[in-house]
Chain A
Amino acid sequence: MKNAIELSHDILPHAVPNYWSTMQTYPLHEEVDAVVIGTGAGGAPLLARLAQAGMKVVALEAGPRFSPFDDFATDEKSQAKLFWRHERLSAGQDPLAFGNNNSGTGVGGSTLHFTAYVPRPHENDLKVKTEFGRGEDWPFSYAELEPYLSEVEQFIGVSGPSSYPWGASRSKSYPLPPLDLNRAAQYMQKGCDRLGIRTSPAANAALSKDFTVKGVGQRPACNRRGFCQAGCNNGAKSSTDMTYLPLAVVHRAEIRDHSYVTEFELSKDKRTMTGVVYKRGGKTYRQKCRAVFLAAGGIETPRLLLLNSLANSSGQLGRNFMAHPGSEVWGEFPDKDEPWRGIPGALISEDFHRAPKAEYETGYLLQSIGVMPVTYVSQKVRGEKLWGEKLKAHMRQYPFVAGINMLGDCYPSSENFVELSDELDDRGLRKPRVHFTFGENEKRMMDHAEKKMRAIWEEAGARNIWTFKRGAHIIGTARMGHDADSCVVDPSGKAFDLENLYICDNSIFPSALSVNPALTIMALSLRTADHYLGRQS
């Protein structure tokens, strides 16, 4: 346990070549094959796939492009530039925090600040209605998704265990061995071992060894800087700016940054999109195109369509909003464990996915967590309203804390939805209002998980244990399914109401899944591209 973290690598400038200097550009008046809105986990894989198929594709990204080594400080405050900060209104009994919790901005989208968790979904995550009579099934099986999950893991560089105690069998092993267990992971392993809870090193989209991204270039291994959630500065985290976006550009895709989409041009019968209207530097531009792929995330996707009164003949756009129950348990340990070091989520347990005799339906996973100082203290004071000398005494213990968190499935509810408010944002557009209240099943799951996590931390030797309840991820607001009356997009991701609009992000998830969503979003993105290419050929 003593040698948990030793920083052995210099920080290297990212080795993925500077692909921007040779990027193809397309004139606005020329009709391109497709415009992709958003460059995160939903937009980037299909952008690359379409470009590789020889299509002329343009991606529009609302945020700037960054050069991580030059632009990313190891500092949370200045890295707030990675977060989507156009104001959202949080309503309901369990109002969700946005900003640093959820959507991102910049070339790479939220993958720039995601924690790098990439567990696979379970087969039965896609069949909750069949199993429990509630929620929704996915319109295809896990077997159809598996090759795409595998392709993503192999391409982006996922570090993970060679054998895994839970879930379906894999067609291929992870391309890289797991990352080292940081202190939080070692504590969780100790506590779980004593309680008979199985654990495994977790799958992470960060490199345990130097790695070549096929067709792109070499990236260095993780240097255990621990600021994944504030942007990786050496290219070791497999965000889309290190993986699918350079691949797309190599295949002649164009990525326009600072480009914020506001409207669409439509054919006379309003069944076909003929162009995308966006703002860049105070000017309005129009890009002609044959198809549109909308990948702006679970709030901006329905918001943009609602603002334009499109794709909503079902009345379901913005409905069925889901967030993962994501309670965290924290505690102080005797040794200075430097919670800011190492991959944050190094250890996982999925023993509470469909646990026998559980008092909740569906399931949840447990992950160890490292944490950056401002994130930690902000949660502490929001959760417990700690101030004065008590606050300062608590924070003197920060170098000694370690955490563990749950992530559980969530049922959709009629109470939970995204709507347009009457308040205007800094761009003069109606702000989204997000209603969220945990249901009874989610509450039972959170209670169960909190007891387990506290028990694990007690066994591991933690003192001053406390819980922070939160919801994570924004899911389900443009549901995918077979039925045009209850869903927004069909099983290929195409909007029922339009001939050439595809949605590809967490908004089309019919159910929330009991795992972090990024890997599944990327897999869906490749699948949607293949469906589109199949239709074209």
Chain B
Amino acid sequence: MGTLAALAIIFAQLSLLAFGGGNTILPEMQRQVVEVHRWMSAQEFGALFALAQAAPGPNMMVVPLVGWHVAGLPGLLVSALAKFGPCSVLTGVVVGLWRRFKDRPWRRVVQAGLVPLTVGLVSASAVLISGATGRTAGLLGVTAGVAALSLLTRLHPLWLLAAGAVAGLAGAGG
């Protein structure tokens, strides 16, 4: 199977499985890109994720970046279209039907019932990405420190990313 076809299949599937937002599909994206197709190492995937976090916009900008990294401009276009297309078509179709089922009790039950699953998926993302990026005790310390600062202060995420980059320069990576 060609690389572009593989990218299209992976991201179209992820597009429709991303219940609860983008961070829930990071583990599967990492599994496909690193373990199944071996397009890059887990460290490289972590670096691309970090680049995407340092950019503005919705938090799924790692998708076009992965596509570009794997197959250049065609890879970027294919992965972006596959990732943003299917869920957008679904949303567009459902907007028209929404008024019919928004007040049904089952909608509330399903939506509340999926919260723990979403939290579990985001936690799994955090564990996997931290494991890939924390190659030394110093880098794990950066991860823990940034997590603590983000929880305890109102510092802007960009400052925390910049502080991490400085800590890396100062030798946190050994």
B partners with A: no
Q: Give chain B's interface residues, CB within 8 Å of chain A.
A: none
Q: Give chain A's interface residues, CB within 8 Å of chain B.
A: none
